[in-house]
Amino acid sequence: MNNHPADGLLRLHQRQLGAITLVHLMSGIDDDALADGTHRCGSSTTLCGYTEWVSAEEPGLTLGWDWQLETHSPAPRVVRLGMPRTNVLVLRGELDPLPWEQSLEVMASLIDAFDWNTPAFEAVCGRYAS
């Protein structure tokens, strides 16, 4: 795996990403939506937050994204919002990096392919329920 400390980005092939074990670091609720004071009694509210994950081994991959509690589906669930934040630039050739937006799309697909929802939401419940 290639690590280029000059810009802080890990350059990894997509096949290498599948071999990396991600570990939940932390999750939380965004409270800025509640702080703006625009919610009225009886109106619906949106629960949004963030989650951060790291690799269990070297290289030090970091991956974070925003989520939202979706209550309109048959069973409430947590879904990813937008593109992730990461220190990974995905390579398509030996040393040929994808454009940044395409690299983020690959990382978003990686996120959507594993069960991050359960540990992230359990961490939020444990953090704020007490």
Query: Rounded to an integer, what distance in angstroms lies between the CA atom of residue 45 and that of residue 50?
Result: 17
Q: What is the pLDDT of residues 10-61, one digit of tens each?
A: 999 998 998 999 999 999 999 764 455 555 666 666 789 999 999 999 889 9
How many distinct structural domains can be found in the chain? 1
Query: Rounded to an integer, what distance in angstroms lies between the CA atom of residue 96 and that of residue 90?
Result: 9
Kindly report the CATH number assigned to the domain that includes residue 111: 3.10.450.610
Kindly indicate the confidence band of residue 72, based on its pLDDT and cuts at 50, 70 and 90. Answer: confident
Query: Rounded to an integer, what distance in angstroms lies between the CA atom of residue 26 and that of residue 12?
Result: 24
Q: Which domain holds residue 52?
A: 2-37+45-128
What pLDDT sits at residue 1? 47
Half-sphere exposure of 108 (CA within 13 A, CB side): 14
